């Protein structure tokens, strides 16, 4: 499949999913969001599950790009990570966190979704583990268990996502609580300016 075709189908899936939700997602509605016919989409993706698997794969890739930070200072990298994770969704993608929540709820019934969410979790935890390790080595952070801090950050971000959807709460509220807790772990306040 050409990259352009794949991108077009995945973007159409994203729009259809945000608008109609998982239960209302059909090949017809995905086609309506693209310049392609349902037959053409079916040619590339046999099932809705395969299509959503590609959508989640693409999501993880974009998330990794968003986390790809030029800074070398682990404190700046941590700030960038928190920006990426806790930035509010763009106004046109309000349905997006809801759609992801629906896919998570489908995860026990779809091995492919489960695998993608495990991949995403691993990416997040690895990035934070590396940042904390590097920060300790550079003497910016106090001695602590990097893998445990990574698990805390990832779980809190999972919680923030659930709160956004279920309670309509801004992720910013959770970010503040997390930053204060990270201060206790790291001896450095995330969100504060980094002076080299």
Q: Give me the residues that bind its own copies (CB under 8 A), please.
A: 21, 23, 98, 101-102, 104-105, 107-108, 114, 117-118, 121, 145, 148, 151-152, 154-163, 165-168, 173-174, 177-178, 180-181, 184-185
Give whichever of 1 and 166 is closer to its own copies, judged by the CB atom.
Answer: 166
Tokens of 67: 């986390």
To the nearest whole angstrom, how small is the minimum distance from the Cβ of residue 8 to its own copies?
A: 27
How many Cβ atoms from other residues are within 10 Å of residue 125's Cβ?
19
Give whichever of 21 and 130 is closer to its own copies, judged by the CB atom.
Answer: 21
**Which residue from 85, 73, 86 is spatially nearest to 188, judged by alpha carbons?**
73
Give whichever of 8 and 19 is closer to its own copies, judged by the CB atom.
Answer: 19
To the nearest whole angstrom, how small is the minimum distance from the Cβ of residue 178 to its own copies?
A: 8
Give whichever of 38 and 107 is closer to its own copies, judged by the CB atom.
Answer: 107
Task: Give the long-range contacts of residues 147-152, CB within 8 A, separation 24 or more.
Answer: 149/182, 149/185, 149/186, 150/124, 150/125, 150/126, 151/125, 152/181, 152/185
Tokens of 78: 């941590």
């Amino acid at each position: 499949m050409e990259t352009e075709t794949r991108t077009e189908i995945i973007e159409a899936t994203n729009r259809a999913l945000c608008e109609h939700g998982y239960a209302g997602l059909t090949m017809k509605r995905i086609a309506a969001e693209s310049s392609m016919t349902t037959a053409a989409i079916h040619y590339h993706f046999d099932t809705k599950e395969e299509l959503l698997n590609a959508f989640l794969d693409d999501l993880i890739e974009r998330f990794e790009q968003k986390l790809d930070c030029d800074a070398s200072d682990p404190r700046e990298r941590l700030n960038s990570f928190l920006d990426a994770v806790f930035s509010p969704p763009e106004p046109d993608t309000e349905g997006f966190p809801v759609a992801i929540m629906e896919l998570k709820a489908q995860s026990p019934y779809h091995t492919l979704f489960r695998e993608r969410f495990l991949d995403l979790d691993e990416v997040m935890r690895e990035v934070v583990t590396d940042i904390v390790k590097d920060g300790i080595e550079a003497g910016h952070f106090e001695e602590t268990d990097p893998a445990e801090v990574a698990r805390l950050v990832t779980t809190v971000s999972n919680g923030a996502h659930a709160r956004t959807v279920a309670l309509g709460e801004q992720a910013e509220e959770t970010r503040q609580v997390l930053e204060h807790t990270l201060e206790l772990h790291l001896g450095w306040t995330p969100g504060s300016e980094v002076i080299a």
